Structure 1
């Protein structure tokens, strides 16, 4: 994701309303996405502790699902607006984020149980379709697209840190390194 985030840096630097002295707007938005979804996780965890039954309040559930619905809608939109056009790029993006969605869904299911099964999963599934529908008929300015992608990337980075990288003693360094090497090779070839 970092190379793609950097691709949006140039159009943002040329946009008069976004120019800041650091010329790092795209990375600031990525950090905002990371912090936003980290804050939501903390909010859900604190609510569960206060409720006393390890389940966040219904209001927190709605905020949590609403934020992830926006996240999923951005992914749906981006399906139609890839940096590298083509079926291969689309399939790779869809596959990677499909696996990522499974992990997010497992986290939300653990936190919200019945509420997630009753409505949350359906809201998230529809959000991807709504985003894809909007993406199929509209085209945002390159700067706006970059902001959406950067915000999404921050949320994805949080998920990677939280779920996809195992705890210190459960990790397999060489498997992880092999995965990084494989992904690096894919980036270099495409």
Structure 2
């Protein structure tokens, strides 16, 4: 497990550090590759992460008595909704901060650091779940790597568009470090299933919002066909493997 996940973590690091050099990821019209990547990420959420939440919920029934955790035991999908809402709120905050300015959020802006700080936690969560998500076999880990790796490319493009030079100077390094730190925490610690289910739910909500906010705006000229190809093809793979 250690060596397998280490290889995948190195892959995540390479994606973060070198995605800026993928010149074909032009903004408008939106790269067909990004739409395919978005479809793959959404397929992974609906065919793996959300069903896994259902599994967690059934496994945890009756194990928790009283308190907040008992509520989450029966309403784990609320956590996914909260994850979606958090990232939606971030996008609204960033867009409002641009109004009346030159369109770039400065490195010294509190908005920039809040935005990047949240994605730093998001990346560390993805690194942690690489170790502690309950994959059935090595294929499960591989498909997680592919889905999240493509998701990282999409996120890098979006954050670079929002923050330009500040993202390359500060943001991408923080996000790269976060994924490694999350993985290291996962290697040396282990938490209860209810905590893992909480983290998976947050990730599911975050992925859905981060994908759709990039695909839906009309000015992006996204490709529904490419999105569908990515979603359908990855769904078939997940269902057969």
What TM-score bracket applies, with the shorter chain setting the length?
Answer: 0.7 to 0.9
Unmatched segments (≥5 aa) in structure 1: none
Q: Give the conservation status (yes or no) of the 8 Å contact 2:120–2:175.
A: yes
Q: Quick one: which of 168, 173, 181 aligns to 1:117?
A: 168
Which structure 2 residues correspond to residues 1-190 of structure 1 after superposition, within 5 A? 1=45, 2-14=50-62, 15-16=64-65, 17=67, 18-20=69-71, 23=74, 25-50=75-100, 52-57=101-106, 58-164=109-215, 167=218, 170-173=222-225, 175-190=226-241
How many equivalent pairs are there?
187
Q: Any conservation in 2 of the 1:12–1:19 contact (CA below 8 Å)?
A: no
Closer/same/farther in 2, CA of residues 181 and 114 from structure 1, 3 Å limit = closer
Contact 1:72-1:131 at 8 Å conserved across structures? yes
- CA shift for structure 1 position 181: 3.3
Give the alignment's TM-score, normalised by structure 1. 0.88
More RCO (CA 8 Å, sep 6+): 2
Unaligned runs of 5+ in 2: 1-44
- 1:20-64 CA-partner distances (Å, limit 9, x unpaired): 4993x21100000000001001101101114x1112351111000
Structure 2 contact 216–222 (Cα < 8 Å) conserved = no
Alignment RMSD (CA, Å): 2.3
User: Contact between 2:80 and 2:202, CA under 8 Å: does it hold in 1?
Assistant: yes
